[in-house]
Structure formats: structure tokens, C-alpha cells
């Protein structure tokens, strides 16, 4: 219970260790788009009024359009995909769950906190991250056939052609979407669960009413009705990911995989590389279970020089 | 499961029925302070960065100071007290719970959705709203002695002298605080659970990480470090509540109770009074279980004329 899990982020801890101010640091430890969706003007009552059902309805309409959600799938927004990940194990009776790893570690932690056992041989419940974090692995639809299947597409918006959203109409299946990563607004806290109406109804009870802020309802609806920004972003981050690969491979790293929002490299001693980059105020992600894996997100447009100087 | 509960708010539904635009309407159906805490400038990364542990720590320090939280009580913030109310029944094994009503209906709904039975004779678990919504009833410490006791002080900041926060250090006790109501920022979504570290640890698992937005962390910390604004607000809302009482009693209503953020009146036919006020674009709260109860929040400083004209 309540054990601190290993994550990206934690820039404050890096600052404590290596010095400098927040502004000095280039935080590449997460997969958050560094060029966020431009903040729209917020209506005055976005902050002051209790979020209205109509605002939720607007957000859900835009989400259904943007992700081409099957009509018979239900949808709910929450304060980040993280809130949904924490709640999902409580929508079913604890049993065994298959979580193909290595992957994002909140899924296993949430199932275990709810009394489930994580097991490679479990057949009734499975969780996949698609594309997978940190290696970018994509899943075949044919392999996702458990009676209770969770498909976490938190990084799926980089490659909508690969989305398995059509499976959201299948009984027992839930697809997760994250807003913070692709739209670069992780502080806003917005995520979605889409799928079997019975499971979504249980999530509704678990999360309680007014579970998303007024600003998140407004900004989410606007961004999800703006496919042009999404298209341009996909083009830009693909170019930046290629530029990152060039820089890293030139410096002796091998590309393992990733998505266009983060890249996973094989290096000689990830901790030593993390330390070297940190001397230049660049923060990276290492993995306790893989001592030669280094994950890097994309720098903002005007911060490439700092990264290049760190090698 | 997932039944729509009766609440204040729902202004959109009133607009659909009676016409007018949002700006035309004076929404007195909730107990939200109509003069919100002034929005501070937000640091750029409040929207873009994943909320850092340091930002949570700052918020918790300010909350502990503002509410004089006992040192041995734990604290957690969530996306509204509503998220905590939904999660609390899952921190213990379902049994019977005593919820002295009439009161805020989300408590009973959350316990029932988790398999609990609401019973007047339950002795092991009890929930009180202090001061109570809608009648303002205050509780005696001596009566709050169940092994698992939830004290919902969502409206407690109007009268800090009456707070039972010192009970948060008692095993099995949790005190709830709401930010949206007193500070008038219900769209921000911020609430707190304070109490027994074992229960707060379970809530931490239930809610998942990064459970509060970056703007809420920033604004909450600033407001909770500003006791002067809180003092001035208490004086202002007390004067406004008295003015509202004068207006209503002059028009034949009797005061039942309330807090200085909302007033509960006995009227001849609450539905008819609600309808009459709605003709003037004033939205009020009625209660399905009490046909002569009408609850009104406070109008903003410049909207009294609209309310006075409605009688």
C-alpha cells in the first residue's frame, strides 16, 4: 500500500541533488509534448462554477468525434488517466491479471493495491499499454481477448492509425486516453476511459461527481475539436524524434524503440549517462530493472542547444 | 449504481426550461461564495508539467497551518471533496453506516454504491456534515464516537471556531474540507481529507498519483496562506446572509437555518416559489423530501437588485 513508485518527473529531487533553478533544467524525464496546446481564453465561470452536465456533454461529444469512438461504447473523463488506472481494478472482483511488462508501473500497483495478483498466466483479465511505455511495442488485436481487457492508449495519439478504439465496443473492454501527454498539458489533469457501459458506470460511482475541473472541460473540448493542431503536432514531433535519434546514436546509443513523444535507448550504464546529462541540467529517465536503458522525451524548440552541449 | 442524484447546480436545465442566457441568470442553487478568491498569476508550468511532489508538499504545509491540523493527522488533497466522498466507503469493509439526515446526499449514495447499508442504528461507522447542509446543524463532539467517523466540514470555513479538526488525530476519524465553496472556486476542484494515517494511505491508493491539477496546487497554497482574505470574507458573507434573511422574512418566509453561505427557509410551496423566482431568472434549490424548504445561496454584490425584483 502507498509505496512510492518509480516514475519520470521528480525534477525537484534532481534540483536538490545537482543544483540550479527550475528554469535552468531541461526536463526530458517524461513523454510530455514540450509544445503545449495554446491556452484558450477561459470563460469566467470555468473557475467559479460547479462544472455543469452540459460542459461534460460538450467534452464527450468532441472526444467521441476526435477518437471516432464506437457509438455503443460509453465514455467518462477523469482527473488524468491516472485516476482511472487507480479505480479500474475495483470494477471487478479481485483475481489474477496479466500485465505484459516491462510497462507503465501504475497498472500493476493499482491492481495489487486492490487485492489482485499479477500473473503471466492470467487469462480472464489483461492490461496492455498500446503503444507500450517505454519501448513503443504495438499489440495485435487478436492477442487482446481476455473477458476483461484494458488497452491503455495514453500515448496513442502520436499514431491514430494504430488505435484499437474500435475494440471499445466489445463487452469487457476499456480503452484509456490521456490528454496531458500529447497536448502537453499534464498539469491540467484530464484523461478518459472509453468502453463497456457496465464498467464505465462502475467508474462513474468510483470517481464521484464533478470529477474534472472547469478549465479542463473547456480546454479539452476545444483541443479535441482541433484536428489541425493534432496533425501539425504529429509532423513536428516525428521530426524532433528523428533529430533526437541522430544525436543519441552519434553519441554511441542504440535505439530500442519508443513513440515520437519519447525514445528509449540502450547505453553503456544508464545511471552514468543520467549523471553526465544532469551536470548540464538535463534530466532523463532510467529504469531500475534495466541498467542500460535511458529514456528521453523531446526538448522544446529553443532548448536543443542545451541538450547537444550535454554530450 | 450511477443514479443521478438531486443537487444544486443544473443551471443549464433551468435555462432549457425557462429561457434566457447564462449571463441573465442569478444562480443561488448552491452554497458557493459568489465573490471568489482573486486568481493569482499562474506559473507557466502549472498547466504543462506533471504536478511535482514539492507542489503537493507546499499545499499541504499551507493547509496544515490554515486549519491548524494536528501533527499526527495525515492529509491528502483530491479533485474536490466529492472525489474523497466517493472513495471513503472503500477504505473499510462494507457494513452498516449511520448518516444523520437530511443531509448532503452524496455520502449515502457513495456508501450504498460500495455495498454498505445506511441504518439509523449503526454504531461502528458514522457520517456527519458539520455544519450540516442544508439546515446548518452543528454536532457535539461527544456524539461523534464511532470507530470509523467521517466529519464533513465542507462548509466549516464560515465558522472556524466551530471546527472539530482536533478530532482528526483520533484513530478512525477523517475530517473533510472543501476549497471550492468558501473560496468560491468550485470549478477548480480541490478538497481535502485529514485524519487517521491508515485511512489516508488507503485513499492515496484509491485516488492514484497526481490527483490534483497544477493550477489547483498553486491557487490552493496561495489562498490557504491568506487568512486576511478569509477573515474579510467571513465578515462580508455574514452581512449578506443577514440581508438575505431580511428580504426573505419580509416576503413571508421563515428561517430554518443554514450557514452564512446558504440559508434554508420554510415557504408555502417551495416548488411554486422556485417557479416564481425562475420567471425572474433566479435559480434556487428545493428538496424532494421537504416540500416547504427553499435554500438560497448569496448573490454577488452587484446582483441583489435582480433578487429583490423577483419577489
Q: Which CATH architecture has domain A45-225?
A: 3-Layer(aba) Sandwich (3.40)
* pLDDT of amino acid A5: 66
Closest-CA residue of A relative to B113 is: A205
Residues of chain A under the 70 pLDDT cut:
1-9
Contacts with A90 from chain B: Cβ below 8 Å: 90, 206
Instruction: Tell if the CB–CB gap between A50 and B186 is shorter than 8 Å.
Output: yes
| Residue A258 Cα to chain centre, angstroms | 13
Instruction: Return the H-helix or E-strand segment holding A248.
Output: helix A227-250
Confidence grade of residue B4 (pLDDT, cut at 50, 70, 90): low
DSSP string, A90-117: GGS---EEEE-SS--THHHHHHHHTT-E
pTM of the predicted structure, to 2 decimals: 0.92
Instruction: Tell if the CB–CB gap between A213 and B213 is shorter than 8 Å.
Output: yes
Instruction: Tell if the CB–CB gap between A52 and B10 is shorter than 8 Å.
Output: yes
Residue A50 · residue A29 · CB < 8 Å = no
Look at residue A293 and give its three-state secondary structure: strand
* pLDDT of amino acid A1: 36
* pLDDT of amino acid B63: 97
The residue of B39, B40, B79, B104 whose CB has the most chain A CBs within 10 angstroms, and thus the best one to mutate to test that interface, is B79
Instruction: Tell if the CB–CB gap between B49 and A27 is shorter than 8 Å.
Output: yes
List the grid coordinates of B136.
446548518
Torsion angle defined by CA atoms of residues A130, A136, A141 and A142, in that order, rounded to the nearest 10 degrees: -130
Contacts with B86 from chain A: Cβ below 8 Å: 205-209
* pLDDT of amino acid B8: 60
How far from B55 is each of A127, A148, A187, CA to CA, in Å? 31, 36, 11
Question: What sign does the dihedral B165-B62-B194-B197 (CA atoms) show?
Answer: negative
Q: Kindly report the CA angle at B293 between B287 and B297, in degrees rounded to 5?
A: 85
Look at residue A290 and give its three-state secondary structure: strand
In this prediction, residues B90-100 reach a mean pLDDT of: 96
Instruction: Tell if the CB–CB gap between A188 and B47 is shorter than 8 Å.
Output: yes
Cross-chain CB nearest to A205 (options B51, B86, B189): B86
Instruction: Tell if the CB–CB gap between A32 and B47 is shorter than 8 Å.
Output: no
Cross-chain CB nearest to B82 (options A189, A210, A216): A210
The residue of B5, B48, B84, B114 whose CB has the most chain A CBs within 10 angstroms, and thus the best one to mutate to test that interface, is B48
Å from B78 to nearest chain A CA?
9
Residue B107 · residue B152 · CB < 8 Å = yes
Contacts with A206 from chain B: Cβ below 8 Å: 86-87, 90
* Euclidean distance between CA atoms A139 and A131, whole angstroms: 7
Look at residue A210 and give its three-state secondary structure: coil
* Euclidean distance between CA atoms A86 and A206, whole angstroms: 10
A134 preceded by cis ω (within 30°)? yes
Instruction: Tell if the CB–CB gap between B213 and A216 is shorter than 8 Å.
Output: yes
A47 preceded by cis ω (within 30°)? no
Q: Mark residue A192 as left, alpha or beta (left: phi above 0; alpha: psi -120 to 50; beta: remaining).
A: beta
How far from A56 is each of A177, A247, B22, B108, B237, CA to CA, in Å? 16, 43, 16, 24, 31
Contacts with A80 from chain B: Cβ below 8 Å: 208, 210-211
User: Measuring CA to CA, which residue among B256, B311, B307, B309 is closest to residue B28?
Assistant: B307
* pLDDT of amino acid B1: 36
- The answer on pLDDT for B150 being more than 60 is yes
* Euclidean distance between CA atoms A310 and A170, whole angstroms: 48
| Residue B66 Cα to chain centre, angstroms | 17
Instruction: Tell if the CB–CB gap between A32 and B50 is shorter than 8 Å.
Output: yes
Q: Which residue ranges make up each domain of chain A?
A: 11-36+228-309, 45-225
Q: Mark residue A259 as left, alpha or beta (left: phi above 0; alpha: psi -120 to 50; beta: remaining).
A: beta
Contacts with B39 from chain A: Cβ below 8 Å: 47
| Helix-helix angle B270-279:B11-18, to 10 degrees | 70
State the CB neighbour count (10 A cutoff) for residue B281: 20
- Report the first-to-last Cα separation within chain B, whole angstroms: 40
Å from A142 to nearest chain B CA?
31
Instruction: Tell if the CB–CB gap between A202 and B1 is shorter than 8 Å.
Output: yes
Instruction: Tell if the CB–CB gap between B11 and A52 is shorter than 8 Å.
Output: yes
* Euclidean distance between CA atoms A147 and A172, whole angstroms: 6
Instruction: Tell if the CB–CB gap between B187 and A46 is shorter than 8 Å.
Output: yes
Closest-CA residue of B relative to A197 is: B2
Contacts with B13 from chain A: Cβ below 8 Å: 53
* pLDDT of amino acid A54: 87
* Euclidean distance between CA atoms B205 and B224, whole angstroms: 25
How many residues in total does chain B contain?
311
CATH number of A11-36+228-309: 3.90.1150.10
In three-state form (DSSP H/G/I as H, E/B as E, the rest C), the secondary structure along chain B is CCCCCCCCCCHHHHHHHHCCCHHHCEECCCCCCCCCCCCCCCCCHHHHCCCCHHHHHHHHHHHHHHHCCCCCCEEEEECCHHHHHHHHHHHCCCCEEEECCCCCCHHHHHHHHCCCEECCCCCCEEEEECCCCCCCCCCCHHHCCCCEEEEECCCHHHCHHHCCHHHHHCCCEEEEEECCCCCCCHHHCCEEEEECHHHHHHHHHHHCCCCCCHHHHHHHHHHHCCHHHHHHHHHHHHHHHHHHHHHHHHCCCEEEEEECCEEEEECCCHHHHHHHHHHCCEECEEECCEEEEEEEECCCHHHHHHHHHCC
pLDDT tens by residue, B155-194: 999 999 999 999 999 999 999 999 999 999 999 999 999 9
| Bridging pattern class, strands B285-287 and B290-297 | antiparallel
Contacts with B202 from chain A: Cβ below 8 Å: 1-2
Q: Which of A149-153, B12-16, B17-21, B225-229 is predicted with the least confidence, judged by mean pLDDT?
A: B12-16
A56 preceded by cis ω (within 30°)? no
Cross-chain CB nearest to A82 (options B82, B90, B208): B208
- The answer on pLDDT for B6 being more than 70 is no
Contacts with B187 from chain A: Cβ below 8 Å: 45-51, 213-215
**DSSP class of residue A150?**
E
Instruction: Tell if the CB–CB gap between B50 and A22 is shorter than 8 Å.
Output: no
Å from A88 to nearest chain B CA?
10
* Euclidean distance between CA atoms B174 and B172, whole angstroms: 7
Cross-chain CB nearest to B188 (options A85, A114, A213): A213
Instruction: Tell if the CB–CB gap between B32 and A49 is shorter than 8 Å.
Output: yes
* Euclidean distance between CA atoms A120 and A141, whole angstroms: 18
* Euclidean distance between CA atoms B155 and B191, whole angstroms: 12
Contacts with A208 from chain B: Cβ below 8 Å: 80, 82-83, 85-87, 106, 110
Å from B254 to nearest chain A CA?
28
User: Measuring CA to CA, which residue among B212, B208, B204 is closest to residue B185?
Assistant: B212
User: Measuring CA to CA, which residue among A268, A270, A240 is closest to residue A252?
Assistant: A268
Amino acid at each position: 500500500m502507498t509505496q512510492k513508485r518509480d516514475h519520470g518527473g521528480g525534477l525537484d529531487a534532481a534540483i536538490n541533488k545537482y543544483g540550479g533553478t527550475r528554469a535552468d533544467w531541461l526536463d526530458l524525464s517524461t513523454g510530455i509534448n514540450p509544445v503545449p496546446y495554446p491556452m484558450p481564453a477561459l470563460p469566467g465561470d470555468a473557475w467559479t462554477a460547479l462544472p455543469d452536465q452540459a460542459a461534460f456533454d460538450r467534452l464527450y461529444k468532441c472526444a467521441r468525434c476526435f477518437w471516432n469512438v464506437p457509438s455503443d461504447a460509453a465514455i467518462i473523463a477523469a482527473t488524468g488517466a491516472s485516476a482511472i488506472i487507480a479505480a479500474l481494478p475495483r470494477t471487478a472482483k479481485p483475481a489474477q491479471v496479466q500485465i505484459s511488462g516491462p510497462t507503465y508501473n501504475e497498472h500493476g500497483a493499482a491492481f495489487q493495491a486492490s487485492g489482485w495478483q499479477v500473473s503471466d498466466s492470467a487469462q480472464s483479465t489483461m492490461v496492455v499499454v498500446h503503444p507500450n511505455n517505454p519501448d513503443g511495442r504495438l499489440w495485435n488485436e487478436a492477442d487482446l481477448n481476455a473477458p476483461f481487457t484494458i488497452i491503455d492508449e495514453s500515448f496513442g495519439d502520436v499514431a491514430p492509425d494504430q488505435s484499437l478504439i474500435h475494440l471499445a465496443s466489445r463487452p469487457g473492454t476499456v480503452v484509456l486516453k490521456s490528454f496531458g501527454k500529447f497536448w502537453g498539458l499534464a498539469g491540467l489533469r484530464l484523461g478518459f476511459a472509453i468502453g463497456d457501459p457496465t464498467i464505465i458506470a462502475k467508474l462513474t460511482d468510483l470517481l464521484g461527481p464533478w470529477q474534472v475541473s472547469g478549465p479542463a472541460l473547456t480546454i479539452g473540448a476545444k483541443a479535441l475539436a482541433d484536428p489541425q493542431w493534432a496533425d501539425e503536432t504529429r509532423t513536428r514531433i516525428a521530426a524532433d524524434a528523428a533529430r533526437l535519434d541522430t544525436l543519441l546514436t552519434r553519441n554511441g546509443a542504440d535505439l530500442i524503440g519508443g513513440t515520437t513523444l519519447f525514445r528509449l535507448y540502450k547505453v553503456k550504464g544508464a545511471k552514468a549517462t543520467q549523471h553526465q546529462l544532469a551536470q548540464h541540467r538535463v534530466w532523463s529517465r532510467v529504469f531500475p530493472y534495466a541498467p542500460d536503458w535511458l529514456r528521453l522525451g523531446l526538448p522544446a524548440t529553443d532548448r536543443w542547444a542545451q541538450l547537444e552541449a550535454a554530450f
